[in-house]
Structure 1
Amino acid sequence: MQKPLLAYLVVVLLMPGMLTLVAGEVNAQASDPYFKQAIQEHRSGNYQQAIFYLNKYISLHDVGFLKRLFGGDDQKMNQLASAYYYRGQSKMKAGFYKEALGDLKKASRYGQDFAAAYNAVGHALNELGRYEEAIGWFKDALDINPTMAVTYNNLGNSYLNLEKFREAISNFNQAIRLDSTFALAYNNRGAARYYNQDVAKAHENDIKRAIKDFSKALKYDSTLILAQRNRGIGWRMLDEYE
């Protein structure tokens, strides 16, 4: 049987129109030419250029560990956390997940209740196949902000890759409860129902429920090719029951 495909989402703070939410500090940095240019490059998909400008910004504003530890004020620390966060995100977008981890962990350490950074570390770990570690970071993110639907989606993907299907579906359910239009979560919940067949043979009704999930995903995002493919798999599976 062809396996269904999963959909990952890094973090809600990188979705269109949400950029100003990063640690509440992006507006404070908007006047800095290096940071401003880095964000423009990131939005344009020029991730190597974004990294270049963030390197410049960080070299000017990261004053060293001891001063951070004993003399850094919260606002400056949050601003620095935002810079590390975006450099880590740019590295991930460029496919350098291992290299991104250091930056994202610094962002989580320097930022004040920076849930998005914890979520991003978890995403990088998922991409590296370190699912057990990722779960801990996602849970830490949810301890800070339990309303992040994207984190429940990513946590569900960690469990799914570990073949813990009930836990996966439970987290996709929570993501959908928080955002009833979350197309990726519908796709992933449907995929989890398919994968569960290898452990407990899915009833025909389970497949129909999965197809409904894929249809919901397409209702909210008609361009989601993963859901289109997965729904096609479901229809073929139903043919086998006839």
Structure 2
Amino acid sequence: MKKIAYSIVILILGIGCTSKNSTVKVTDLLKRGDSLLAVGELSAAVGVYDSVLLADNQNIHASLQKTLALIQNSQYTSAIQSAGAALQLADTSTAYYYRANAHRFIGNYAEAIADYTIAVKKAPDNYDYVHERGIALLHINSLDSALQDFMKAKNLNPLDPRAFLSIGSTYTLKKDFGAALRYYEQSLGLKPDYYQALHAKCRLLKDIGEIDSCIATLYTAINYHQDSADLYKLRCDMLFKKQRFNDAVIDASVLIRLMPNKAPYYNVRGYCKIQQNKTQEALADFNSALKIDSTYAYAWSNKGYCHYLLKEYPTAMSDIYHSLQLDANNSFAYRNLALVQIAQKQKAEACQSINLGLTMGFTKQYGDELEKLKKQNCR
């Protein structure tokens, strides 16, 4: 009997040691998973959290962290399932919030709003819950409701620039551009290098025709974000529109460095170089564009124009005709064609090209030039 009793004691002690070791193992795994999540090793983090849940299927921390890792890894459907599993363990606002985010990222806005609303009811003073619900409401065009959430978020934390940006975006959609600009400015007052606010402000200034202000803002933005292709592209477009070709060619060169396989930037730089009377350099850029995209109609037209400037009329004619075969709805190509025809004293054909050009796309930019050619050459 004493031997049996001793064996039972040993067994009980053994169980106790196993349980303690298991707890230590789970704790170590959680630390490992959290470390992986912090450095962006998302798939590895999910694997570690799965190991924790295998050892302790009631571990809410592992369940929530796994959901977060799945969201950050763009595995939104799996994240929705994981959040549901977390809610089976604990009716926590965090799980509703994570599930709402996953729904929103795949466009399930009604489901997202429903989950955000539960999260907000559980934690009404949580900035992120309120603000992100506003974002979801914005997606379904519930502008007034979204604005209410953004205003509440702003009041919850008046030092967070996100709400100011979101309010500005809402006013932009409501076409109250003055209010939108004020809130973009307030957002930038809190965080001067805030990329999204800088970009939104520039876009709005562009859309309302404040091109000089847009360009000035873009110079500030690019000082903070010197490798942002989007900002360089926007500024290059604005400089081009203002015919500031010396500045535009610099931005086009940066864009080519950032994205060497994008034909439009070679085309833009080539056009700017034409304005700088650097025809051979322009021709090289148009050839580079066509090596990337041989169907790029505008590059063919511009290449033809370079040959026109070099008095290489047969080549110019061939290139411009090729451009029109690819895209006939281009008044600029017809302008180029007319110039070649005039140079070859084919006035009847030139007048036909001019008249066709006046019915095509881009007449807003080139219509006056075509009208001038018509007045000079067509009776």
> Please, what TM-score do these two structures have when normalized by structure 1?
0.71
Residue deviations 1:133-188 (CA, integer Å, cap 9, x gap): 21111001111111110111111111001110010000000110111110111111
Cross-structure match for 2:196: 184
Q: 1:131 Cα deviation (Å)?
A: 1.7
Q: 1 CA distance for matches of 2:149 and 2:101? A: 16
Q: 2 CA distance for matches of 1:32 and 1:137? A: 29
Large movers: runs of 4+ above 6 Å: none
Report the more deviating stretch, 129-138 or 208-217. 208-217
Please tell me whether the aligned partners of residues 51 and 90 of structure 1 are also in contact (alpha carbons under 8 angstroms).
yes
RMSD: 2.4
Q: 1:100 Cα deviation (Å)?
A: 0.6
Cross-structure match for 2:122: 110
Is 1:237 matched up with 2:248? no
Aligned residue among 179, 194, 207 for 2:211: 207
Please tell me whether the aligned partners of residues 108 and 115 of structure 1 are also in contact (alpha carbons under 8 angstroms).
no
Q: 1 CA distance for matches of 2:146 and 2:168? A: 11
Letter in 2 for 1:53: S
Letter in 2 for 1:172: Y
Could you list the runs of 5+ residues in structure 2 that have no partner in the other structure?
1-36, 39-58, 244-364, 366-379
Q: 1:223 Cα deviation (Å)?
A: 5.1
Q: 2 CA distance for matches of 1:47 and 1:83? A: 14
Cross-structure match for 2:178: 166
Cross-structure match for 1:220: 224
Is 1:34 matched up with 2:63? yes
Cross-structure match for 1:95: 107
Q: 1:60 Cα deviation (Å)?
A: 2.5
Change (3 A) 1:227 1:209: same
Letter in 1 for 2:147: I
Letter in 2 for 1:146: P
Change (3 A) 1:96 1:185: same
Alignment of 1:6-155 (within 5 A): 32-62=61-91, 80-155=92-167
Please tell me whether the aligned partners of residues 157 and 168 of structure 1 are also in contact (alpha carbons under 8 angstroms).
yes
What SS does the aligned partner of 1:147 have? coil
Number of paired residues? 190
Please tell me whether the aligned partners of residues 184 and 217 of structure 1 are also in contact (alpha carbons under 8 angstroms).
no
Q: 2 CA distance for matches of 1:179 and 1:119? A: 18
Q: 2 CA distance for matches of 1:172 and 1:61? A: 39
Q: 2 CA distance for matches of 1:223 and 1:147? A: 27
Q: 1:233 Cα deviation (Å)?
A: 3.2
What SS does the aligned partner of 1:32 have? helix
What SS does the aligned partner of 1:33 have? helix
Change (3 A) 1:152 1:37: same
Please tell me whether the aligned partners of residues 91 and 97 of structure 1 are also in contact (alpha carbons under 8 angstroms).
yes
Q: 1:98 Cα deviation (Å)?
A: 2.4
> Please, what TM-score do these two structures have when normalized by structure 2?
0.46
Could you list the runs of 5+ residues in structure 1 that have no partner in the other structure?
1-15, 18-29, 63-79, 198-205
Q: 2 CA distance for matches of 1:49 and 1:118? A: 24
Structure showing greater relative contact order (alpha-carbon pairs closer than 8 Å, 6 or more residues apart)? 1
Cross-structure match for 1:27: none
Structure with more helix by fraction: 2
Please tell me whether Structure 1 or Structure 2 has the larger radius of gyration of its CA atoms.
2
Q: 1:91 Cα deviation (Å)?
A: 1.3
| Identical columns (%) | 20
Please tell me whether the aligned partners of residues 183 and 218 of structure 1 are also in contact (alpha carbons under 8 angstroms).
no
Q: 1:237 Cα deviation (Å)?
A: 2.9
Letter in 1 for 2:232: Q
Letter in 2 for 1:215: Y
